[in-house]
Amino acid sequence: MKRLGLLLLAAVVVIAAGVAIFLFKPASLPDVSAAQAKLPAGQALIDRGEYLTRAADCVACHTTAGDKPYAGGLAFKLPFGTIYSPNITADKDTGIGNWSDAEFVRALHQGIDKDGQNLYPAFSYAAYAQMTTEDALAIKAYLFSLPPVKADAPKNELGFPFNQRYVMRFWNLLFVPSGPLQPDPAQTAEWNRGAYLVEAMAHCGECHTPRNLFYAVDNGRKFAGAELQGWKAYNISSDKRTGIGGWSDQQLFDYLSKGHAENRGAATGSMGEAVDFSLRHLTPEDIKAIVTYVKSVPPQTSTDKAVVEAEPAALTASTAYAPAADAATQDGLGLKLFQGACASCHGWNGEGLQTPYAALKGSRTVNDPDGTNLIQVILKGAHMTTPQGRQSMPAFATAYSDVEIAALSNYVLGHFGGKQSAITPADVAKARTQ
Ligand code: HEC
Ligand code: HEC
Ligand code: HEC
């Protein structure tokens, strides 16, 4: 018995030592010389880097509204605290101007900073881990070709134990792919290009795939939809009812490359940003490849109530300039507000008055009885850069009270989506804090 006890104790000591070595051993640097040798020189490298930096949408998270691109400072509210994106311009004091190629590649592939500290997965490195080393280096070359910006990001606000960065080493072991995405020989070149763009670059799953208990993307439910920062990133699997299985290739192509599609509404919130900063800059061939890949993702049913009804009775009975008699469904306040503040751009028949960007017919946002994204759009407004100029909707957060926005939302859902909803002023008050 005594012997067994000693053996057990020895085993525990050995395991504990192993874990300690794993947690505290300095992180090694990857060898990037082979990839460096394969890269083009000069402007060709910077151009390739610019395209890829856009495709990976680094700017969305590393820039605050109206501020210098890539200078960081954007807040990420996580369930366990707030962290801020760092400055990734080439400034030597406050940015990453002193980082070597190998240190940069390690950050993108393993989520480890210059000092060997682990980074948190609010930085989408679990996706970028699948990027080739050459592409990562091209991105660095582009970022380093821009003027450095001096700007310190605010300090992170994380309590114990979440401020213990080494804990992420276990997470990385479990959830971060090692090595670039391997092409699937059974699929076409277009599909493989789409897979690479979606998984290693555009990181669609970081927003659209639900997360597990450990905050890792749950690929068993790929693209089934998730909530982030007060918005729903809808189900984009090929499920016909709750996903985008009913969308034509053309609709998906238009939505991703222009930010709106006929009878599907507009991209707003962080999807609006993804289109504006990133997707609309990609070549038509690359968008087509993304469409091919996304449409091949197996259907996932979700419990989301946002099932789109394209032709609700009130909508089809209305003209662009006048609503059908549907005022009876509400107390009249919502209808009155829509008439005063919204109808001049959106019209009453869902086609949009000034521009097709304002078409609401068939949009999931006006079909979701929870009103999640609808309330956010009304509070924050929306905009999109287009070949016809900037399309925009003003923010109404300060113009209207919670009571007014709740009534307006219920009216919009009834009229444009044929949905019975019960959005309360408390729902709007909550949305204001997100
Ligand atoms: C979804 C948001 C998001 C995207 C997209 C994103 N980042 Fe980040 N990044 C962050 C956050 C947040 C941190 C800080 C994480 C932390 O403090 O642990 C970070 C950290 C970094 C760091 C570490 C810098 C330092 O000083 O420690 C580098 C380098 C970096 N990102 C580069 C990039 C590049 C290059 C891209 C595009 C390929 C990119 N990021 C895209 C959110 C993002
Ligand atoms: C930063 C988070 C984020 C990323 C990255 C992102 N999305 Fe989205 N996506 C959203 C949100 C939020 C919405 C809801 C937008 C709205 O209500 O207008 C959305 C909406 C959509 C829709 C519309 C679905 C519907 O039923 O109306 C499609 C299609 C879509 N995304 C595809 C993609 C694809 C493909 C990618 C990658 C190339 C991607 N998204 C990347 C957050 C994101
Ligand atoms: C100045 C014109 C204008 C006004 C006023 C306006 N909107 Fe908009 N709205 C737009 C445009 C343009 C878009 C598309 C923006 C984009 O593509 O980013 C939009 C988008 C939307 C969307 C998102 C559609 C989708 O498919 O996700 C909703 C919902 C919406 N508006 C509702 C309203 C409501 C309710 C009001 C009144 C409080 C209103 N809008 C006032 C122009 C306007």
Q: How far is CA 316 from the centre of its chain?
A: 33
Residue 403 placed within a domain: yes
Identify the residues whose C-beta falls under 6 Å from ligand 3. Answer: 259-260, 265-266, 268, 272, 341-342, 345-346, 355, 357-358, 360, 363, 365-366, 374, 377-378, 382-384, 391-394, 396, 408, 412
Residue 9 placed within a domain: no
Q: Which pLDDT value is given to residue 79?
A: 74
| Number of domain units in the chain | 3
Q: Which pLDDT value is given to residue 23?
A: 67
Q: What is the DSSP letter of 217?
A: B
Identify the nearest ligand to the CA of 140 by its number: 1
Give CA–CA dist 380/393, Å, rounded. Answer: 9
Instruction: Enumerate long-range contacts of 380-387, CB under 8 Å, 24 or more apart.
Output: 380/269, 382/266, 382/268, 382/269, 382/272, 383/272, 383/276, 384/258, 384/259, 384/260, 384/266, 384/267, 384/272, 384/275, 384/276, 384/357, 385/276, 385/280, 386/258, 386/259, 386/357
323 and 276 co-located in one domain = no
210 and 267 co-located in one domain = yes
**Model's pTM, two decimal places?**
0.94
Residue 43 placed within a domain: yes
Only one residue has tokens 């605050």, namely: 64
What confidence tens digit (pLDDT) does each residue in 399-428 have? 999 999 999 999 999 999 999 999 999 999
84 and 146 co-located in one domain = yes
In this structure, what CATH number is given to the domain that contains residue 342?
A: 1.10.760.10
Q: Which pLDDT value is given to residue 229?
A: 87
Could you give the percent of the chain with pLDDT greater than 90? Answer: 74
**Binding-site residues for heme c, please?**
58, 61-62, 204, 207-208, 342, 345-346
> CB 197: neighbour CB atoms within 10 A?
23
Best residue among 250, 260, 268, 271 to mutate for probing ligand 2, ranked by most atoms within 8 Å of CB: 271
Shortest-distance Cα residue to atom 33 of ligand 1: 58
Give CA–CA dist 158/156, Å, rounded. Answer: 6
What are the residue ranges in the chain where pLDDT is below 70?
Answer: 1-2, 13-14, 17, 20-24, 66, 326-331
* SS3 at position 412: helix
270 and 359 co-located in one domain = no
Q: Which pLDDT value is given to residue 311?
A: 85
Q: Which pLDDT value is given to residue 304?
A: 79
339 and 269 co-located in one domain = no
* SS3 at position 7: helix
Q: Which pLDDT value is given to residue 221?
A: 95
Residue 161 placed within a domain: yes
Residue 163 placed within a domain: yes
154 and 46 co-located in one domain = yes
Residues 6+ apart with CB under 8 A from 93: 150
281 and 333 co-located in one domain = no
322 and 425 co-located in one domain = yes
**Single-letter residue type at 38:** K
Q: Is the CB of 70 under 6 A from ligand 2?
A: no
Residue 322 placed within a domain: yes
Q: How far is CA 310 from the centre of its chain?
A: 26
Shortest-distance Cα residue to atom 41 of ligand 3: 342
Q: Edge-to-edge strands of the sheet including 81-84?
A: 75-78, 81-84, 157-158
Q: Domain of residue 284: give its range.
A: 189-296
Q: Are 95 and 88 in contact (CB under 8 A)?
A: yes
Shortest-distance Cα residue to atom 28 of ligand 2: 236
140 and 199 co-located in one domain = no
**Ligand 2 centroid, distance to 205 Cα (angstroms):** 9
Residue 21 placed within a domain: no
52 and 154 co-located in one domain = yes
Best residue among 279, 339, 345, 348 to mutate for probing ligand 3, ranked by most atoms within 8 Å of CB: 345
What confidence tens digit (pLDDT) does each residue in 4-27 have? 777 777 777 667 767 766 666 777
The domain boundary, picked from 266, 296, 326, lies at 296
35 and 155 co-located in one domain = yes
Residue 50 placed within a domain: yes
The domain boundary, picked from 268, 296, 324, lies at 296
200 and 317 co-located in one domain = no
The domain boundary, picked from 241, 269, 296, lies at 296
